[in-house]
């Protein structure tokens, strides 16, 4: 049986690296990438486009062993992360949730049903350590933090449901670390380790390879260590 890996957000810094590393690894017979520039195009704000991409992936005739969601946005429409409550804007807040939480939730809605009923498979989505409530000591970045915390809850809840029908499937949130991409540009502080996209992709895929069904619903960093909620 042909094995298939799917990468959403495949045109982004991390997503394109994930796709490239997967294609060279030989872990899967076929790697499919979806993004705003793919055919069909993937738009996180348009459920119809997500449904169409999932339908195409499901029509390959192969077994989908991995869905890696590399979507997400820190800045939207030129707005930068908030430093205080005074800067909260309802439109920016709603858009951050739409892109960072609702969009990935819809990906789970349409792609998790494609995972096989038996045998190990993985759905992994990029979250962020700043989405951890337990690890939040600096404050600020309200919209991004809250949207990623929401994503973490959605992942955990989906994993509970997934386990009922597909006990060997894994659904997790991953923190990639700071990666040299447009998303992180201007926010990498002095002394912070910044990874190149391919290095990050290799680390994340190493984590994915080592995940067990008992870890489904978890939140892990690029070394495979658990991040507090």
Query: Which listed residue (28, 142, 148, 166) is catalytic?
Result: 148
The owner of tokens 């339908």 is: 55
| Sign of the CA dihedral with 171 first, then 18, 39, and 101 last | positive
Coarse DSSP helix, strand, coil percentages of the chain, rounded to the nearest 5 percent:
40, 15, 40
Contact (Cβ atoms closer than 8 angstroms) between residue 75 and residue 56: no
DSSP at 136: -
For the question of residue 148 being annotated catalytic, the response is yes
Pairing label, strands 3-8, 63-69: parallel
DSSP 38-73: SSS---TT-HHHHHHHHHHHHTTSSEEEEEEE----
Query: Token digits for 56?
Result: 């195409």
Query: Which listed residue (117, 144, 166, 189) is catalytic?
Result: 144
For the question of residue 109 being annotated catalytic, the response is no
List the Cα angle 170/6/127 in 5-degree steps: 55
What is d(CA 212, CA 191) in angstroms, rounded to the nearest whole number?
33
Pairing label, strands 169-174, 178-179: unpaired
**First-last CA distance in the chain:** 38
Residues catalogued as catalytic: 144, 148
């Amino acid at each position: 049986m042909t094995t298939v890996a799917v990468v959403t957000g495949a045109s982004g810094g991390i997503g394109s690296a994930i796709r490239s590393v997967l294609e060279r690894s030989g872990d899967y017979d076929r790697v499919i990438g979806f993004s705003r520039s793919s055919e069909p195009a993937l738009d996180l704000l348009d459920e119809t486009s997500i449904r169409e991409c999932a339908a195409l992936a499901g029509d390959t005739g192969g077994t989908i062993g991995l869905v890696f969601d590399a979507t997400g946005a820190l800045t939207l429409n030129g707005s930068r992360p908030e430093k205080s409550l005074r800067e909260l804007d309802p439109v920016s807040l709603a858009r951050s949730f739409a892109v960072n939480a609702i969009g990935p939730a819809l990906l789970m809605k349409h792609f998790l049903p494609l995972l096989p009923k038996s045998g190990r498979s993985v759905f992994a989505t990029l979250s962020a350590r700043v989405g951890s409530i337990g690890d939040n000591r600096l404050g600020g970045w309200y919209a991004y933090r809250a949207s990623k915390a929401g994503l973490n809850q959605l992942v955990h809840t989906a994993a509970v449901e997934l386990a009922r029908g597909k006990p060997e499937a894994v659904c997790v949130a991953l923190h990639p670390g700071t990666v040299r991409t447009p998303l992180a540009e201007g926010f990498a502080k002095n002394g912070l380790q910044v990874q190149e996209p391919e290095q990050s992709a290799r680390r994340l895929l190493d984590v994915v390879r080592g995940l067990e069904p008992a870890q489904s619903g978890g939140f892990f960093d690029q070394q495979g260590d658990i991040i507090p909620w």
